[in-house]
Amino acid sequence: MNTDMTTDTNNRALICKSQYVPMRDGVRLALSFWLAQDETKHRDKRPAVLVTTRYWRATLFQDDKPELQGAYPTAAYFLSQGYVLVIADARGSGASFGCREAEMAPAEVEDIGEVIDWVAQQDWCDGRVATTGTSYTASTTLYSLVTAPTALKLGVCRAPDLDEYRHLLAPGGIVNSWFIEAWGKVTGAQDQNDVSTLIENGSLAPADGDTNKLLGIRPVDEDAEGSLLAAAIAEHRDNFNLANTQDTQDTLMFIDNILFEHHRVLFDPGYQKKIEQSHVPVAIRCGWHDAGTQLGALSLFVLFNFPLRIILGPWNHGGDVRADPFQSGDGTNPDAIPLDDVRALTVSSLDTIFKHNKPTNNAALVEEHFGLVEYYTLGENRWKTTRVWPLPQTQIQRLYLAADHQLTGSKPTSQAGSDRYQVDPSAGTGVNNRWHTQMGNPVFFPDRQEEDKKLLVYDTPPLENDIEITGHPVVHLSIRSTATDGQFFAYLETIDPDGRVRLLTEGQLRGVHRKVSDGTPPYTMFGPYHSLKEQDAQPLVPGEVAEISFDLFPISVLLKKGQRIRLAIAGADKDVFAPILGCESPDIIVERNSTYASYIDLPIV
């Protein structure tokens, strides 16, 4: 196997070395690290930055040119800033041995600590390690705090999942069938080194676009013939994959039926205690419109007692495209963020600990840079900082659904008043939304005038003054349905003076999960607590009034004088969520009277 060589931004040639590292039970993990070529004999010691991935640490090409490696630009940038990049294939993935009983199983979590210890002992590492990543590797960054070896000094990540079920797989109990199928197909193909499938669905491509060069997973250096790689892939044959479950809809209908017996969530009390005891600082970046990652980060901030810096901004999942309802244009063109700017944000957080940290002022540095939330207010284009969430200055403004599709601050006085809506199963949010960005798509905000014609909408008059909405809107609907179950989506939007409709945020709940639980939630939640458990299921009774209440994903936005606020209600999103059999297009009556009011609570600053 040829050794990877290229040059970093300081014009030093880079080499990438790969090898197996044995774990406590003998399972061997494949690991790669990037160094400067002129350090072959004398190596400078630097802090190491570790990524633990289940998406292949490296790809094999016909000519094996190092610049084709997806990790190369990041490795070069990190090395130029004084850090060594290390990437490990997680147990049961890539070139690593083992089988995956679940995503982020306890064995995988324990592996991360052992890899950190191994990295810290290498002659190119100064004994200090940070963990980093985006999406899955962001979650492994957080899980690295469970074992937290003494070498681990910091975590820096983008878009981790605190609660995969509530924030991604089945938000509000509505199964995200699109993501499960798409992600399952990709990871299943990766686990079997199925290059043709990965090329076909666009998840694997070289920088120059020549797919003929792609051969699959890159073996470690000692495995020149690929026999070890073949043996490792054979062990992946029985990997868990939710998309292969016989009936995913039924499996995910309730949170206590999910097939993750071998998976412990971050907010598991045992894990939480270990994370808090580690006291390792972590910086987390999330986009306002990236599934429920921002909601999870804010829950983590409020619940956990360890140094956290939460940064919420106008980004897609990968942080390389701007996601802003108010960006110029028609809302259908990506506004790319230079990748070196993305990397610089990570390095800035690394530098806080590794370049400005001294034993005498460590506590002061952590106190200064962590324990806060930085958030970007859309429409105002301004960054703000708080050490308390929700904001203490928040006041709740209640807007009621009223006659003539109006939203008003006046509570209904009439005993009569309702609107009939037949769910339109063709309604959707497109393929550039907060859910599709989880698979790499940019987030677009096209005019929703036409789409809203399929929905039930309520509007305020033009605003008389600017208002800032920052926090967690909560919607409360009193409904009657012809079905025993259903999907309820609420979209908070704004209407420009020229009539353009912009989506701000959204939320959802499955009808059978409507019970507001009086139990203690597993972590801090910012709206009505629905356990989503089978024991709390309450099917709708056709013709009877049901209370449907849920919070929308958090947002910070400044609306200007002259704009209007819209609440749009739907019963389907064909682009993401599979319909419930037998409940595809029910008739819904939304009550809006003195007996059964419907409204939305907005957190106004």
Q: Residue 406 contacts by C-beta under 8 Å, 6 or more apart in sequence?
A: 458, 459, 460, 461
pLDDT confidence of 264, banded at 50, 70, 90? confident
Task: For residues 71-90, give the mean pLDDT.
Answer: 96
Listed range (152-156, 245-249, 548-552) with the worst mean pLDDT: 245-249
Q: Is 44 annotated as catalytic?
A: no
Q: What is the pLDDT of residues 423-433, one digit of tens each?
A: 999 999 999 99
Give bridge partners of residue 347 from the DSSP assignment: none
| Separation CA 146–CA 13 (nearest Å) | 36
Whether 10 shows a pLDDT value over 60: the answer reads no
Task: For residues 126-152, give the mean pLDDT.
Answer: 97
pLDDT confidence of 247, banded at 50, 70, 90? confident
Using DSSP bridges, classify how beta strands 152-158 and 125-134 pair: parallel, antiparallel or unpaired. Answer: parallel
As given in the structure block, the two tokens for residue 507 are 């939320």
Which residue would you say has higher pLDDT here, 352 or 64? 352
pLDDT reported for residue 207: 61
Share of the chain above pLDDT 70, in %: 94
The residue whose two tokens read 């009011």 is: 597
Q: What is the pLDDT of residues 469-512, one digit of tens each?
A: 999 999 999 999 999 999 999 999 999 999 999 999 999 999 99
| Separation CA 288–CA 318 (nearest Å) | 12
Catalytic pick among 18, 32, 96, 135: 135
Whether 168 shows a pLDDT value over 60: the answer reads yes
pLDDT reported for residue 543: 95
Whether 5 shows a pLDDT value over 80: the answer reads no
pTM of the model: 0.95
Using DSSP bridges, classify how beta strands 487-495 and 501-510 pair: parallel, antiparallel or unpaired. Answer: antiparallel
Q: Is 248 left (phi over 0), alpha (psi -120 to 50) or beta?
A: alpha
Give bridge partners of residue 50 from the DSSP assignment: 86, 131
Burial of 13 (0-12, 13-18, 19+ CB in 10 A): middle
Whether 200 shows a pLDDT value over 80: the answer reads yes
Q: How many CB atoms lie within 10 A of CB 200?
A: 13
Fill in the amino acid letter for 508: Q
Q: What is the pLDDT of residues 552-567, one digit of tens each?
A: 999 999 999 999 999 9
Q: What is the pLDDT of residues 440-471, one digit of tens each?
A: 999 999 999 999 999 999 999 999 999 999 99
Listed range (247-256, 299-308, 409-418) with the worst mean pLDDT: 247-256
- For all residues of the chain together, what is the average pLDDT? 93
Helix (H, G, I), strand (E, B) or coil at 257: helix
The residue whose two tokens read 């595809």 is: 584
pLDDT reported for residue 492: 98
Cis peptide bond prior to 390, omega within 30° of 0: yes
Catalytic pick among 167, 263, 317, 436: 317
Whether 361 shows a pLDDT value over 60: the answer reads no
Whether 128 shows a pLDDT value over 60: the answer reads yes
Cα torsion 147, 149, 150, 154 to 10°: value is -80
Q: Is 135 annotated as catalytic?
A: yes
Q: What is the pLDDT of residues 24-76, one digit of tens each?
A: 999 999 999 999 877 666 678 999 999 999 999 999 988 887 777 889 999 99
Listed range (243-257, 347-361, 371-385, 396-410) with the worst mean pLDDT: 347-361
pLDDT reported for residue 4: 43
Which residue would you say has higher pLDDT here, 516 or 365? 516
pLDDT reported for residue 68: 78
Q: Is 466 annotated as catalytic?
A: no
Task: For residues 575-604, give the mean pLDDT.
Answer: 97
Cα torsion 265, 270, 272, 278 to 10°: value is -130
pLDDT reported for residue 9: 44
